[in-house]
Structure 1
Amino acid sequence: MDTQNPSVPPHAQARLAGNKHPNRAHRTTGGLQHDNTRHTTRFTVIGNHLAQHRELSLLAIGLGTHLQSLPKGAPADIKTLAARFPEGATRIAAALRELETHGYLRRECVRTSTGRIVTRTISCNQPAAARHPAEAPSRTTAGPQPQPQPQEACEERTPRETREQRAPRKPLPAVPRPECNVPALFRAAADLLADLHRHEPRLLLSTADTAHLTPGVAAWLERDVTPAAVRRALTADLPPEGVRRPAAFLAHRLADQLPPSPPFPFRAPAAAPPPPVRHPLRNCDGCDRAFRSPDSDTRCRDCRTDIQRAA
């Protein structure tokens, strides 16, 4: 009779009341439910600090998860990712910048044994643990500390491309200007540039870029070039590797391919003539037929003709 049951708690536990019970939030009938099966092969461990990040966009979270799942040495440049996913190069570049800002991505320029400069893209699964030694907190214990295992992917770049990335952005090239200052001409040029990305998604322009390029497009329109022809000239034969800076590319093309001036000066389109006056309907005093006439006429044309013949 002195055998004790080890499963019985030594003291009675107080019952948690109300909403303080830890499992209270999981007893609701609605909300998200999980049907999980344990992975045994081909899986990646992703921290909730990335999957549930409050500042990263959904695209950045998904792209960070994809990068952490890639093997070492896999290509991770913008061109490769844009070919893999439907979001396009612009949105993928923005998502990579988000990951880089929050420490989930690092880009380092290194020189290979052959002298080539390459950009090494490093995906960090725990940014807080991958801080530089100067930023890491002091430790009282000696010995080597464990380091996170980053997943690396190298993107080859020439030394000239690396210098262009580090150097400050150069001002846009000058564009031609029209000889006449017609507001309708500049308005048509600005509308053409704002609509350009609908015909070529790689030529998405900012407000400042549009303001800089508008005089150049206006100079083309002044030379009696139709908007459709200007659009074809700006979007045709783009480089196969893409356009690094669309505004600079368009500024060079506007100046380099400027057509000659027409033999006659540009004239703004004449204003449309006013619509004809439409008199109200009224009934003829002679035959009671409806006709349109100013207030001075009380009879239709036939009745007026009959009166004139009778006189």
Structure 2
Amino acid sequence: MDTQQNTALTRALAEVPGPLPTRGVIHVVIPHTDRFTVVGNHLAQHPDLSCTAIGIAVLIQSLPQGTEVSIKALAARCREGEKRIAAALRELEAHGYLQRIRHRLTDRKVITRTVFCNQPTALPHPHHPAAQPHLHPHPCPRPASTAPEPASATAYAPAPAPTPAPAPAPAPAPAPEQISAPAPGQMPAPVPPAAPLPPRAPLALPVQPPPPAPPSVPLVPTPTAPKPPRPPLPQPGTPTTELDRAATALLCDLRRHAPQFALSEGDIRQLAPAVAAWLEREAHPDAIRRTLTDDLPQPLRHPVKLLRHRLTALLPPPLPGACDLVVPARPRVVVTPFQTCDDCDRAFRSPAPGHCRDCRETREHRGADVHTAA
């Protein structure tokens, strides 16, 4: 009497028709009347899906349309963690049961729409256009049946009759929702062949027009954009006749090294002060010539503008003076030398020889005593 028995389950087991199997599971099937979901064996017995993925698929299939089924929402409903739920969703995506679509709204917000198909093998295929999906707002409330699910609508064949019966009038095929399971011990009623459904167009989510692209900032300014002011040419700090003569000679000699720089007298007078500024900063004439004539663009259309730009942008800094290159000396610390006291031969620090502090005080006391005695 120490083992608790479930009498209700035992009574239900006694009502199971037919001989009971000697081993394995025994099904006690009680038809559902409300709050149930029809799940296909292709999902419940899928050989490649894990039990977690099958359970998540049954849970999603049982939820009403519009229910949030994100990873966090499913983790709040189940005992599994977010990592196992995410792995199960990826399995369902790989086998076609689940599809997550990124959708852009009109306010530029991106959302994820989750689409679940209870039978992905029946989706329209380019070679088999007759199979079309049927969408319902909620899982079909059809009572469960103990018999295996038929492969098609013509699985139940009519029982043979001893005498031919008149053919009944053709009636529309009943909807799958109107077919009820036969009671135990009764033969299923004959079902006429269902008329083939017309092919339906595959469902497509509404496509929102892409939002307008943000205005891009051009990397190259437009021809009508205002140009920055041109920097002025460098000028020598102390213009002299020697600097002006050397600068003019250097500019006139450029056409010997680069024929493109055949400058006019006006151009030379305009550029001579900038070359004089380079010479004032002790730049060698060969270095100035190399800077102005090396790596020229091809073709060179504006030689004067190129010289003006290089003389302004590549101006070297002035050379540091001799005093700037000398490391500043540390401040010298004056040390007071040692002296030897003339009376006691004690060593003490003093800039000049003499007596130590004690001897000076003794001499002051002796002089005071002699003055008092007098």
TM-score (norm 1): 0.36
- Based on CA coordinates, which of the two structures has the bigger radius of gyration? 2
Structure number with the higher helix fraction is 1
